[in-house]
Structure 1
């Protein structure tokens, strides 16, 4: 394994450590700080709003820098510094401010890191999918470890676990090699909100499958938010629910490890189309309260529903864009994913309170819409070797 690939793999193994600590214990820690349910919701959603507002802007700045690594270091470094203040935060407003400053800088450079590593992988001939898969492995491992560590050291350990995870992520960023090709001629894209080059690239036949991928991604955010509640209501134990969630993540990682073989056999838009078709089956299954063995098959379906759509879009965008606008273009896709996730999850929550599991028909309808978008794109321009 070449040194740049090792460094990139190490970064992805460690970059999701703070997210894993957050998922495992943030709501419980906030509750113990006297934060209400409504305030917990705001603490979770305000950083997402910040990422929506500034993601493309940060992507443009990263593209203008001499190397994308500079933006990654700044984002992860700021997150590490602000995470040190979590232990001193008291009251809703102080926790909201510090938590936002801890999560937003790192969140903004996520698409930059994806774009940079994607470019390096294409240049050096290794699979970005396999590298990204190690991120899922690191996330899962940390989720399990956080549960045990907090059990041993108590609830107050959340703040130093979060700070340690942010520091480790920053050190992994320090270890990244130069990510941009120094010999590649560069131009400075012009434009106001979006560069002219990005606007020219995202023609309708390109934009439609990217929107479809963002919609399919948002359906998985519904699963993250509500699947455990649905399965608990159906009588499954917490241990079984945890195993099902881990199974879905493992299936996702397995497909990412095999991505290089998949990517060379199928055009990206065909992969997004397949993801949409399997998504329909998966979300219909969620409306039926099926037996456990069917739920297991549905969770294994994440290997297709998430990975094919997510990585399919990342590669599709990378092949349509130059290095000069890579981070901006991937940041735009990140904005679409975040935006649709907020809309879909909030709408689903309202519907779930009224009609229960039948709310998953929303996900079914959105999957049908995603398929239609990709089909329109393929009619505009059929798949080719550059797809």
Structure 2
């Protein structure tokens, strides 16, 4: 999309719609990638342990990349331009998977592609939250469009795999990233004041030393990490148990439908419960969800249990976003978002994903019990955060 064309569209479309289009495009990729990328990797003759490692290194790439990108954003104040660059790098890296051969090449591309694509999320969330609080928009209703296209992607992927080879997964991802580049060009050009204008960026150390922020990071990290076996191996587990690709796609979709319902009432939930109690609910949902998944592959039982995704992911994510918006001073917002992404969706998930490959290889579906333990830790962390944080800005 040329810049004049993007500028013309930006002037005609309201900010809420442009943000919704961004989430819709981004999660059209995730809806195919998350359930079915392990199948593409398996088709490259990789073992579960190797698949776990490839998925894990991508999460670890966030740990290094996201804080550096977040700092650059806080220093220069710009967000949309860096996002266009990152999306283009992700498109190039994923395209190279089509010609890559051997585990080392797949490993290198996994690091680059995941680091670039994953960095879009905290920057996009930062633009969204700044716009939401400035224009009094409903974050949940904007974010739910990502959940809806995740559903569409997971269902479409299952149907396509009934008749087409696994290569269709890669081509669907490439198409989704191309749409994401276009959506990034339409984003509001939200800028905080450049640190070159206001002086050096405030040191991040006081925020990282604050007990409430550390408790928040730890709680969000263990709940998100409890999804590792599900994200990495649920599709393989269910496929080995005889479930068809369209049934598997339907199970993934059910979870995200429940998430959409939660986002629809997100503002009311945040007002009623507050961010910390939403995190507590996320941990509680994990204890129940992963315990059941460890003992059954019956889709009649799995279908209602998948509704707990509204808690394990939806409530956790909603609580995390509103904690950052309420507790973190604006001057730290870009870096706080990146640190959250690095800790909760990077380091924690990277550790859990690396272990989940070996756990699944050794124990099959019983590996979900390890995720139950992480859910319980998140439940405890949410309870402690609710008791120790007063709901206002952290004094840093």
Q: Does 1:171 align with 2:179?
A: no
Q: Does 1:208 align with 2:215?
A: yes
Choose which of 303, 312, 325 in structure 1 pairs with 2:310. Answer: 303
Choose which of 263, 272, 286 in structure 1 pairs with 2:270. Answer: 263
Q: Does 1:117 align with 2:124?
A: no
Contact 1:248 1:301 in 2 (8 A): yes
Gap change, CA 1:78 and 1:359, over 3 Å in 2: closer
CA distance in 2, matches of 1:361, 1:173: 39
More off after superposition, 351-360 vs 58-67: 351-360
Gap change, CA 1:188 and 1:341, over 3 Å in 2: same
Q: Does 1:313 align with 2:309?
A: no
Choose which of 347, 351, 371 in structure 1 pairs with 2:355. Answer: 347
Structure 1 counterpart of 2:151: 140
CA distance in 2, matches of 1:150, 1:328: 40
Gap change, CA 1:225 and 1:5, over 3 Å in 2: same
Q: Does 1:47 align with 2:58?
A: yes
Q: Quote how far apart the aligned CAs of 1:180 are.
A: 2.9
The equivalences for 1:74-223 within 5 A come to 74-146=85-157, 160-180=171-191, 188-191=200-203, 195-199=204-208, 203-223=210-230
Q: Which 5+ residue runs of structure 2 have no aligned equivalent? A: 1-11
Structure 1 counterpart of 2:20: 9
More off after superposition, 292-301 vs 21-30: 21-30
CA distance in 2, matches of 1:225, 1:156: 18
More off after superposition, 125-134 vs 72-81: 72-81
Q: Quote how far apart the aligned CAs of 1:135 are.
A: 1.0
CA distance in 1, matches of 2:248, 2:164: 25
Contact 1:213 1:313 in 2 (8 A): yes
CA distance in 1, matches of 2:340, 2:368: 24
Q: Quote how far apart the aligned CAs of 1:14 are.
A: 0.2
CA distance in 1, matches of 2:231, 2:354: 13
Q: Does 1:332 align with 2:339?
A: yes
Q: Does 1:373 align with 2:384?
A: no
CA distance in 1, matches of 2:76, 2:248: 45
TM-score, normalised to structure 2's length? 0.82
Contact 2:161 2:245 in 1 (8 A): no
Gap change, CA 1:279 and 1:47, over 3 Å in 2: closer
Choose which of 62, 72, 77 in structure 1 pairs with 2:73. Answer: 62
Contact 1:136 1:253 in 2 (8 A): yes
The equivalences for 1:269-284 within 5 A come to 269-284=276-291
Contact 2:158 2:245 in 1 (8 A): no
Q: Deviations over 1:144-202 (max 9, x none)?
A: 334556777765555554433222211110111212356999563244xxx23533xx5
Q: Quote how far apart the aligned CAs of 1:319 are.
A: 1.1
Gap change, CA 1:307 and 1:148, over 3 Å in 2: closer
Q: Quote how far apart the aligned CAs of 1:331 are.
A: 1.2
CA distance in 2, matches of 1:131, 1:82: 29
Q: Quote how far apart the aligned CAs of 1:245 are.
A: 1.8
Contact 2:328 2:393 in 1 (8 A): no
Q: Quote how far apart the aligned CAs of 1:297 are.
A: 2.5
Q: Does 1:250 align with 2:257?
A: yes
Q: Quote how far apart the aligned CAs of 1:122 are.
A: 1.2
Q: Deviations over 1:17-44 (max 9, x none)?
A: 3334434654555565666666555443
Higher relative contact order (CA 8 A, sep 6+): 2
RMSD between superposed Cα atoms in Å: 3.3
Q: How many residue pairs are counted as aligned between the two chains?
A: 381
